[in-house]
Copies of this chain bind each other. A is one copy, B any other.
Amino acid sequence: MRRWAFSLAAEFGHVDITDEVARLVEESGVQTGTVTVSVVGSTGTVTTIEYEKGALRDLRRALDEIAPTTAEYDHNAAYGDGNGFSHVRSALMGPGVTLPVVEGRLVVGKWQRVAVFNLDNRPRDRDVMAVVVGD
Protein backbone atom coordinates (compact mmCIF):
# COMPACT_ATOMS: atom_id res chain seq x y z
CA MET A 1 0.00 0.00 0.00
CA ARG A 2 1.18 3.49 -0.77
CA ARG A 3 -0.30 6.96 -0.41
CA TRP A 4 0.96 9.85 -2.51
CA ALA A 5 -0.03 13.52 -2.66
CA PHE A 6 0.32 15.31 -6.00
CA SER A 7 -0.06 19.06 -6.51
CA LEU A 8 -2.11 19.30 -9.68
CA ALA A 9 -3.42 22.24 -11.69
CA ALA A 10 -7.11 23.13 -11.91
CA GLU A 11 -9.55 21.48 -14.35
CA PHE A 12 -7.25 18.90 -15.92
CA GLY A 13 -3.99 18.80 -13.99
CA HIS A 14 -2.33 15.43 -14.56
CA VAL A 15 0.67 13.34 -13.59
CA ASP A 16 2.07 10.06 -14.90
CA ILE A 17 2.54 7.70 -11.94
CA THR A 18 3.31 4.50 -13.81
CA ASP A 19 6.84 4.24 -12.43
CA GLU A 20 5.66 4.74 -8.84
CA VAL A 21 2.96 2.08 -9.28
CA ALA A 22 5.38 -0.36 -10.92
CA ARG A 23 7.86 0.10 -8.07
CA LEU A 24 5.16 -0.46 -5.45
CA VAL A 25 4.14 -3.67 -7.21
CA GLU A 26 7.73 -4.94 -7.23
CA GLU A 27 8.29 -4.05 -3.58
CA SER A 28 5.02 -5.72 -2.54
CA GLY A 29 6.34 -9.16 -3.44
CA VAL A 30 2.98 -10.09 -4.96
CA GLN A 31 3.52 -12.39 -7.96
CA THR A 32 -0.05 -12.73 -9.25
CA GLY A 33 -2.73 -10.22 -8.36
CA THR A 34 -3.97 -6.72 -9.03
CA VAL A 35 -3.09 -3.16 -8.16
CA THR A 36 -5.85 -0.61 -7.60
CA VAL A 37 -4.97 3.07 -7.90
CA SER A 38 -7.63 5.56 -6.82
CA VAL A 39 -7.99 9.28 -6.15
CA VAL A 40 -9.40 10.11 -2.72
CA GLY A 41 -12.29 12.47 -3.44
CA SER A 42 -15.12 13.04 -5.89
CA THR A 43 -13.48 15.44 -8.36
CA GLY A 44 -10.59 13.39 -9.71
CA THR A 45 -9.88 10.22 -11.62
CA VAL A 46 -7.16 7.73 -12.47
CA THR A 47 -7.12 5.99 -15.83
CA THR A 48 -4.65 4.68 -18.39
CA ILE A 49 -3.70 6.64 -21.49
CA GLU A 50 -0.81 7.15 -23.87
CA TYR A 51 0.71 9.96 -21.87
CA GLU A 52 1.61 12.47 -24.58
CA LYS A 53 0.43 16.05 -25.04
CA GLY A 54 -1.84 15.36 -27.97
CA ALA A 55 -3.84 12.49 -26.46
CA LEU A 56 -4.12 14.39 -23.19
CA ARG A 57 -5.50 17.46 -24.97
CA ASP A 58 -7.90 15.26 -26.90
CA LEU A 59 -9.20 13.71 -23.69
CA ARG A 60 -9.64 17.15 -22.16
CA ARG A 61 -11.60 18.30 -25.20
CA ALA A 62 -13.89 15.25 -24.99
CA LEU A 63 -14.56 15.97 -21.30
CA ASP A 64 -15.28 19.59 -22.21
CA GLU A 65 -18.03 18.35 -24.51
CA ILE A 66 -19.45 15.80 -22.09
CA ALA A 67 -19.58 18.23 -19.16
CA PRO A 68 -18.60 21.77 -20.25
CA THR A 69 -16.98 23.97 -17.62
CA THR A 70 -19.31 26.82 -18.62
CA ALA A 71 -22.65 24.96 -18.52
CA GLU A 72 -25.15 25.46 -15.73
CA TYR A 73 -25.05 22.89 -12.96
CA ASP A 74 -27.50 22.33 -10.13
CA HIS A 75 -24.53 21.58 -7.90
CA ASN A 76 -23.16 25.06 -8.52
CA ALA A 77 -26.57 26.66 -7.92
CA ALA A 78 -26.73 24.96 -4.51
CA TYR A 79 -23.13 25.33 -3.36
CA GLY A 80 -21.65 28.12 -5.46
CA ASP A 81 -18.30 26.38 -5.69
CA GLY A 82 -18.36 26.14 -9.46
CA ASN A 83 -17.16 22.57 -9.79
CA GLY A 84 -20.35 20.93 -11.00
CA PHE A 85 -18.55 19.80 -14.17
CA SER A 86 -15.85 18.17 -12.01
CA HIS A 87 -18.34 15.99 -10.16
CA VAL A 88 -20.00 14.83 -13.38
CA ARG A 89 -16.69 13.97 -15.04
CA SER A 90 -15.40 12.09 -12.03
CA ALA A 91 -18.61 10.11 -11.50
CA LEU A 92 -18.63 9.09 -15.18
CA MET A 93 -14.98 8.02 -15.26
CA GLY A 94 -14.85 6.60 -11.75
CA PRO A 95 -12.21 7.39 -9.12
CA GLY A 96 -9.62 4.81 -10.13
CA VAL A 97 -8.34 1.87 -12.11
CA THR A 98 -7.44 -1.76 -11.34
CA LEU A 99 -4.63 -3.36 -13.34
CA PRO A 100 -3.16 -6.87 -13.47
CA VAL A 101 0.01 -7.93 -11.68
CA VAL A 102 1.73 -10.92 -13.30
CA GLU A 103 5.09 -12.47 -12.47
CA GLY A 104 5.62 -9.78 -9.90
CA ARG A 105 5.18 -6.90 -12.31
CA LEU A 106 2.57 -4.33 -13.30
CA VAL A 107 1.11 -5.26 -16.68
CA VAL A 108 0.70 -2.29 -19.02
CA GLY A 109 1.13 -1.93 -22.77
CA LYS A 110 4.10 -0.24 -24.39
CA TRP A 111 2.42 3.20 -24.52
CA GLN A 112 -0.13 2.64 -21.76
CA ARG A 113 0.56 4.79 -18.72
CA VAL A 114 -1.25 5.20 -15.41
CA ALA A 115 -2.25 8.85 -14.98
CA VAL A 116 -3.93 10.82 -12.21
CA PHE A 117 -6.21 13.72 -13.15
CA ASN A 118 -7.40 16.56 -10.96
CA LEU A 119 -10.78 17.46 -12.47
CA ASP A 120 -11.65 20.07 -9.84
CA ASN A 121 -11.97 23.75 -10.77
CA ARG A 122 -9.07 24.73 -8.52
CA PRO A 123 -5.54 23.44 -8.02
CA ARG A 124 -5.53 20.56 -5.54
CA ASP A 125 -3.08 18.43 -3.60
CA ARG A 126 -4.63 15.13 -4.58
CA ASP A 127 -4.28 12.10 -2.36
CA VAL A 128 -3.85 8.93 -4.37
CA MET A 129 -3.95 5.46 -2.83
CA ALA A 130 -2.51 2.35 -4.42
CA VAL A 131 -3.08 -1.13 -3.03
CA VAL A 132 -1.68 -4.42 -4.31
CA VAL A 133 -3.62 -7.62 -3.57
CA GLY A 134 -2.82 -11.21 -4.49
CA ASP A 135 -0.23 -13.89 -3.73
Residue of B nearest to A134 (CB): B133
The size of the chain A interface, using a CB distance under 8 A, is 62
Residues of A within 8 A of B (CB): 1, 3, 32-34, 36, 38, 40-42, 47-50, 52-55, 57-59, 62, 65-67, 73-79, 84, 87-88, 90-102, 107-113, 127, 129-131, 133-135
**A85 to B: closest C-beta gap in Å:** 8
Contact of A98 among B34, B66, B101 (CB under 8 A): B34
Contact A42 B50 (CB under 8 A): yes
Contact A98 B98 (CB under 8 A): yes
List the B side residues contacting A135 at CB < 8 Å: 133
Contact B93 A94 (CB under 8 A): yes
**Which of A47, A50, A53, A67 has most chain B Cβ within 10 Å?**
A50
Contact flag A92-B91 (CB < 8 Å), given A42-B48, A58-B73: no
